[in-house]
Amino acid sequence: MTVKTAPGQSRHRNPMERQSAGDRVISVITYIVYAFFAFVCAYPFYYIIINSISANNLSERGKVLFYPMEIHFKNYSRMAGIPGLMDAAKISVLRTLIGTVLTVIIAAFLGYMFTRETMWKRKLWFRFVTVTMYFNAGIIPWVLCMRNLHLNNNFWGYIFPMIVQPFYIILCKTYCESVPRELQDAGEIDGAGTLRVFFSIMLPVIKPILATIAIFAAVNQWNSFQDNLLLMTNRPDLNTLQYVLWQYITQANSLKALLSNTTNSNAILAGLATAATATSIRMSVTVVVVLPVMLIYPFFQRFFTKGIMIGAVKG
C-alpha cells in the first residue's frame, strides 16, 4: 500500500523499530548537526532583539550575548524622533499595500483571461507575457528607460515594474484550468459576460491561490531595495525602510551627526544606559524592518510548497 505523506513529513519510520548501532550513531550526529544549523540561523535574530532592549552602553561593547540585560524600551519609544525613519516606514507600507493588491488582481485577471479560448490570439499574448521571465535587458538600460518613462524619483516606480509577474499569472491560469468548466458555462448560460464570470464566479473560487501570491508579493515588495537604489536617486523622501537601514549601517558618520543633533549627546557623554548609540539605532531599526516578515511567517509556512513550485512551473 502506498501512503502519501505531506511534504516535510518524515517517511519510513516506525518508533518501535530496532535501530542498528550504526543507525543510532547517524541519528545522534544528525540531531547535533541540525541543532547547529538551527542555532546559526536563529541566534543572529535573537542576538539583535535582546540587544535592542538591553542597556545601550552594554550592547555597544558587545556584552549582551545570551539574555537581555537591564531591559528598557527607550530605543523603540525614541524611534519616532529619528528623522526620515517614519517617512520611510510610510513609503514601505504604502508600496507593500498598493503593490500587493495590484499584483494579485492582475495575476488573477490575466490568469483567468488566458484560459478564455475565445480570446483573439490568446496563445500568442500568453507567450508574450511569459517569455519575459527568460530575458533581461540589464539594470542600466532598464534604469535609462524608466527615466524616459518618468518613473524615476516617482513613487510609481516601485509599483509598475513589479505588478505584472508571469510566475503568478501562470499559477493562476493553472488553477483556473483545474476549476470545472461547467461552473463558467453555467454563468454564461445565465447571461453573464466575461468580466461578470470573472468577478462573480472565478474570483471567489481561486482565493486559495491568491492568498499564496499575496504573501509572496508582499514579502517581495517589503524587501525590495534595488529599485530604491536605482530609481529614487534624488528623492530621499521616497526612501524605503530597507534603504534607510542600509544607510544607517554603512554611513556611520551620518548616524553620528544625527545623534549629536538630538539632545542625547549629553546623555552619551554621561554614559547613560538608555542614551541612543549607533549600535542601538542599528539594532532597533533592524528589528522593526524584520518584524513584519517574522510576524506573518507562521501563517504563510503552509504555502511553502506551493510557493517553491511557482518557480518550477513551466510557462
Partner 1 sequence: MTKKKRSYLEFLYVLPFLVLVALMSYYPLYGWIYAFHDYMPPKPISSETYVGLKWFQYIISNPVRTADVIRVLVNTFAMSGISLAFSWFPMVFAVFLNEIHCKPYRKFVQTVTTLPNFISWVLVFSVAFNVLSSTGAVNAVLTELGVIEKPIAFLSSRDHVWFRMWLWLTWKNAGWAAIMYLAAISGIDEQMIEAAKVDGATRMQIIWRITIPCLLPTYFVIVMLNLANFLSNGMEQYYVFMNNFNKKSIEVLDLYVYNIATTGRGNYPLSTAISMLKSIVSVALLFITNTVSRLVRGEGFI
Q: Which of 78, 116, 235, 256 binds partner 1 (CB under 8 A)?
A: 116
As a whole number of angstroms, the distance between CA 178 and CA 278 comes to 54
Instruction: Say if CB 214 and CB 171 are below 8 A apart.
Output: no
Binding mask 269-308 toward partner 1 (x if CB under 8 A, else -) reads ----------x--xx--x--xx--xx--x---x--xx--x
As a whole number of angstroms, the distance between CA 232 and CA 237 comes to 9
Q: Which of 113, 206, 259, 276 binds partner 1 (CB under 8 A)?
A: 113
**Which residue lies nearer to partner 1 by CB, 10 or 263?**
10
3-state secondary structure 2-58: CCCCCCCCCCCCCCCCCCCHHHHHHHHHHHHHHHHHHHHHHHHHHHHHHHHCCCHHH
How far apart are CB 182 and partner 1 at their closest, in Å? 19
Cell of 12: 519510513
**Interacting residues with partner 1 between 68 and 87 (CB under 8 A):** none
140 binds partner 1 (CB under 8 A): yes
Q: What is the dihedral of CA 83, 88, 94, 97, to 10 degrees?
A: -130
**Which residue lies nearer to partner 1 by CB, 83 or 120?**
120
Binding mask 172-211 toward partner 1 (x if CB under 8 A, else -) reads ----------------------xx----------------
Cell of 308: 517553491
6 binds partner 1 (CB under 8 A): yes
13 binds partner 1 (CB under 8 A): yes
The span of 72-80, 202-210, 242-250, 263-271 binding partner 1 (CB under 8 A) equals 242-250
The span of 39-47, 80-88, 206-214, 253-261 binding partner 1 (CB under 8 A) equals 39-47
How far apart are CB 253 and partner 1 at their closest, in Å? 14
The span of 93-101, 178-186, 245-253, 267-275 binding partner 1 (CB under 8 A) equals 245-253
As a whole number of angstroms, the distance between CA 32 and CA 212 comes to 34
- Alpha helix positions (H), the chain: 21-52, 56-60, 74-77, 85-113, 122-130, 139-148, 160-163, 166-178, 181-189, 194-196, 203-205, 207-223, 226-231, 241-250, 252-261, 265-269, 278-300, 304-310
156 binds partner 1 (CB under 8 A): no
16 binds partner 1 (CB under 8 A): no
**Which residue lies nearer to partner 1 by CB, 17 or 263?**
17
Instruction: Say if CB 146 and CB 152 are below 8 A apart.
Output: yes
Q: Which of 80, 83, 138, 204 binds partner 1 (CB under 8 A)?
A: 138
186 HSE (CA, 13 A, CB side): 8
170 binds partner 1 (CB under 8 A): no
